[in-house]
């Protein structure tokens, strides 16, 4: 079996705040912008969606759709290869992301920096060395 990742959706506490953060940090093209969902084009084959966490009850049910991570550990990481990495790091800092690991060469052959967004998701921005 093969699959092409088409869409990743992050469940967020504040849709307007999360969208403002991703607009400021990356400036991705918006493909959907409605009161209950925002979607960005990352590249020709992948999109990133933002959805209010409360809306998940429509497809997860009332019990699962209201759950939140209890131990504080991030539940997802976006790992993005970017051009002009220093400029992207500056944009993330200016947008209010919390840097958890500064830009540095990594053992796997990338130069990467790690951040947390407003909802506690990990964002890694990287370039190949």
Give the CATH number for residue 19: 3.10.180.10
| Alpha carbons within 13 A on the beta-carbon side of 101 | 12
Task: Round to whole Å and give the CA distance between 78 and 98.
Answer: 14
Has residue 38 been placed in a domain? yes
Total structural domains within the chain: 1
pLDDT at 18: 97
pLDDT at 59: 67
Whether the predicted model's global pTM rises above the 0.85 cut? yes
Has residue 88 been placed in a domain? yes
Has residue 1 been placed in a domain? no
Q: Which residue from 117, 127, 124 is spatially nearest to 22, judged by alpha carbons?
A: 117
Has residue 54 been placed in a domain? yes
Q: Which residue has the higher pLDDT, 67 or 20?
A: 20
pLDDT > 60? residue 65: no
pLDDT at 98: 95
What are φ and ψ of residue 118, in 5° steps? -65, -25
What are φ and ψ of residue 56, in 5° steps? -65, -20
- Residue 62: domain span: 7-128
């Amino acid at each position: 079996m093969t699959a092409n990742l088409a869409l990743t959706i992050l469940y967020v506490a504040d849709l307007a705040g999360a969208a403002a953060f991703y607009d400021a940090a990356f400036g991705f093209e918006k493909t959907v912008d409605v009161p209950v969902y925002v979607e960005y084009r990352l590249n020709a084959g992948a999109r990133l969606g933002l959805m209010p966490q409360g809306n998940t009850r429509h497809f997860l049910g009332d019990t699962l759709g209201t759950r939140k991570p209890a131990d504080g550990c991030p539940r997802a990481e976006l790992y993005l290869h970017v051009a002009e990495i220093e400029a992207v790091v500056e944009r993330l800092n200016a947008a209010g992301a919390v840097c958890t690991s500064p830009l540095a060469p990594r053992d796997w052959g990338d130069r990467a920096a790690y951040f947390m967004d407003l909802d506690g998701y990990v964002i890694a921005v990287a370039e190949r060395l």
